[in-house]
Amino acid sequence: MTARLWAFIILAVLAPAALSAAPFAAYVMDARTGKPVYSQNADTKLHPASLTKMMTLYMAFTAIERGQVRLDSKVLISSNAAAEPPSKLGLRAGQRIELRYLIRAAAIKSANDAATAIGEGLAGSETAFAQQMTSMARALGMRNTRFLNANGLTQEGHYSTAHDMSILGRRLFYDFPQYYNLFSRRSADAGIKKVSSTNRRFLDGYQGADGIKTGYTRAAGFNLTASAQRGNKRLIATVFGGTSTAQRNQVMGQLLDSGFGRVPNRVREVRPQKPQLLTQKVVRRAKVEPKPAATRPEPQRLVLKSSEPPARVVRQTASTAAVSDPLAAAVRKATQAQLSSSALRLTASARPRLRPAVRGNALQDALETAVAATPTEPQDNPAQSASLAAPVLQASARPARAPRSRASTAALGNQDAEAIARAVAAATAPDGQQSLSLLASPAPKPRSETVILAAMGEGDISNPEALEIVSRPEESGRYWGVNLGLYRSHAEAEKLLLKTALQDGTVLDGADRRIADTIRGFDANFVNLSKADAYLACDRLRARSQKCKVVGP
């Protein structure tokens, strides 16, 4: 029975086709999977006629999706677009009209002037737009298609196949479902007038038909790409080379009826992948003539500038004191004798402060008394020699222990060692100075760590650029999110986010709800998540048949 039906279809096609100059081709595919159901001359390159406008509209929808244009963008009509032959909307050169009206006219009325205006408005010229259409066709898998204009008027080198046009029809259905309803309208407002559909006969005459586009020229014949649904089944078919509108619609109906009987009721839907466009990257390099300072053959040198070395100060000790001073000589001899017996060393002490009672000539009187009482040979009695300096030592404050010499100072455990230290301090003081202290060299200045570089060429003398401080939030790892898709209203997106947050409170506890108002709708997102939480939340949503995707940084 199936063989007889196909034989009847072929006879019905070939009999009128013999009287027509346009060859016949047909292709039927299961829209759910993209697999072929029926094919006849499906890869033969033929004139597509106004089926070309399917690609013109696909390019327009893509531009809107990418944000290049909007539906209310005004398009300037050129004289070339206004001069296109019928079918046409009746546009005038210099006129400005919204893109939405041009799309309606091209999709429903198949207006040539509207299609040309769309191409020129998007690419600047119809030639450039045709090249973009051909590139998009290659990306969609249309291997035997080449476009030279945006409307489909007959032109040498402008061709396509029934197979390729069926692929394009499936792409329009899956890639832009929000615009697909245009192809099922019987009429629409095109701005300057109301237009009627060229496909209304097939839409009204075939049960389940919901699009999509017709085409006709003398060279192409009567063409049609149609889509229809029955239950869970959807077919997309293309017919090239019909002899009339009625004959073309009849053949299309027979092909669809036979196809619905052959495809299974339930299959796994395979959606087409996004098109992979091949782009050519152009890199331009600026040519700048180098300046002499940057091309000198002399090697660059680094100059290290440091602080001056500290001045060397000769430490004045008892051996360098004035020999003529009898008190100093006496104290020096007593010190040497005491150290030789006890093996003790004197350490540097802080500068002692004078007692308040020592003022005027009190210090001088004490020194004179000590000198007068000094014996002839103080080395014979070291203890008595040390006691001669008692009046002087009593006039000075007890020095504080130096931090670096605690160990050595602690060794002086008797009163005689302290007395000897004060005697040495008094003996080594310079003449004419009332303060008694040991002289020490000043601490050296710290070495500078600054490195000064010599001029390295052009640009080194300019002011340095300001540093940009970039700070991360406290939870620097929580910059992942979950996108729940686009919705028509802000309230609908907010309702879904709140419902989802209540259902998955453990994972989405620390997430923020964010709704972005875009040209396509309201984008619902959960943000401020870690990578692990984002994937876990999305997996749970998918388990409940909720569409989502993970958004990374």
Residues 425 and 489 occupy one common structural domain: no
- Determine the Cα–Cα distance for residues 441 and 60; give it in Å rounded to an integer: 88
Question: Which pLDDT band, with edges at 50, 70 and 90, does 134 fall under?
Answer: very high
- Determine the Cα–Cα distance for residues 269 and 119; give it in Å rounded to an integer: 33
pLDDT of residue 552: 81
Residue type, 188: A
Range of the structural domain that residue 522 is part of: 480-551
Nearest to 165 by CA among 232, 238, 246: 238
15: three-class secondary structure by DSSP: helix
Nearest to 236 by CA among 184, 168, 331, 284: 168
- Determine the Cα–Cα distance for residues 503 and 167; give it in Å rounded to an integer: 41
Residues 220 and 107 occupy one common structural domain: yes
Active-site choice (78, 109, 110, 385): 110
Residue type, 254: Q
Residues 485 and 343 occupy one common structural domain: no
Residues 243 and 337 occupy one common structural domain: no
Contacts (Cβ under 8 Å, ≥6 apart) of 369: 391
Q: How many CB atoms lie within 10 A of CB 212?
A: 27
CATH number for the domain spanning 228: value is: 3.40.710.10
pLDDT of residue 379: 45
Residue ending a domain, choose from 243, 262, 281: 262
Active-site choice (50, 78, 396, 437): 50
pLDDT at 510 over 70: yes
In a domain, 473, yes or no: no
Residues 181 and 37 occupy one common structural domain: yes
Tokens (6 digits) for 262: 């052959």
- Determine the Cα–Cα distance for residues 16 and 24; give it in Å rounded to an integer: 10
> What is the residue-averaged pLDDT of the chain?
77
Q: Any catalytic annotation for residue 78? A: no
Q: Is the pTM of this model over 0.75?
A: no
Tokens (6 digits) for 424: 């040495």
In a domain, 373, yes or no: yes
Question: Which pLDDT band, with edges at 50, 70 and 90, does 459 fall under?
Answer: very low
Residue ending a domain, choose from 210, 236, 262: 262
pLDDT of residue 365: 66
Question: Which pLDDT band, with edges at 50, 70 and 90, does 349 fall under?
Answer: low
Question: Which pLDDT band, with edges at 50, 70 and 90, does 305 fall under?
Answer: low
Residues 389 and 522 occupy one common structural domain: no
In a domain, 274, yes or no: no
Residues 225 and 334 occupy one common structural domain: no
- Determine the Cα–Cα distance for residues 469 and 398; give it in Å rounded to an integer: 56
pLDDT (average), residues 499-505: 77
Least confident of 134-143, 385-394, 501-510, 515-524: 385-394
Give the model confidence (pLDDT) of 87-100 as tens digits: 999 999 999 999 99
Residues 206 and 102 occupy one common structural domain: yes
Residues 425 and 510 occupy one common structural domain: no
In a domain, 450, yes or no: no
In a domain, 484, yes or no: yes
Q: Are the C-beta atoms of residues 224 and 256 closer than 8 Å to each other?
A: no
pLDDT of residue 10: 55
pLDDT of residue 337: 63
Tokens (6 digits) for 397: 């404050």
Residues 367 and 484 occupy one common structural domain: no
Q: 194-196 and 187-189 as β-strands: parallel, antiparallel, unpaired? A: antiparallel
Q: Any catalytic annotation for residue 88? A: no
Q: How many CB atoms lie within 10 A of CB 27?
A: 26
Residue type, 341: S
Nearest to 318 by CA among 339, 303, 332, 308: 332
Residues 492 and 421 occupy one common structural domain: no
In a domain, 298, yes or no: no
Question: Which pLDDT band, with edges at 50, 70 and 90, does 147 fall under?
Answer: very high
pLDDT of residue 289: 59
pLDDT (average), residues 108-130: 96
Q: How many CB atoms lie within 10 A of CB 550?
A: 16
CATH number for the domain spanning 532: value is: 3.30.70.1070
Q: Residue 273 — φ and ψ, nearest 5°?
A: -75, 160
Question: Which pLDDT band, with edges at 50, 70 and 90, does 31 fall under?
Answer: very high
Residues 211 and 343 occupy one common structural domain: no
Least confident of 329-338, 348-357, 454-463: 454-463
Question: Which pLDDT band, with edges at 50, 70 and 90, does 432 fall under?
Answer: very low
Structural domains counted in the chain: 3
Tokens (6 digits) for 44: 């033969």
Nearest to 73 by CA among 97, 92, 89: 97
Residue ending a domain, choose from 262, 280, 306: 262
Q: Are the C-beta atoms of residues 138 and 147 closer than 8 Å to each other?
A: no
Least confident of 71-80, 175-184, 521-530: 521-530
Give the model confidence (pLDDT) of 43-59 as tens digits: 999 999 999 999 999 99
Q: Vertex 288, ends 284 and 292: CA angle to 5°?
A: 160
pLDDT (average), residues 10-32: 70
Q: Any catalytic annotation for residue 50? A: yes
Q: 148 vs 309, which has greater pLDDT?
A: 148
Q: What is the SS3 string spanning 97-134?
A: EEHHHHHHHHHHHCCHHHHHHHHHHHHCCHHHHHHHHH
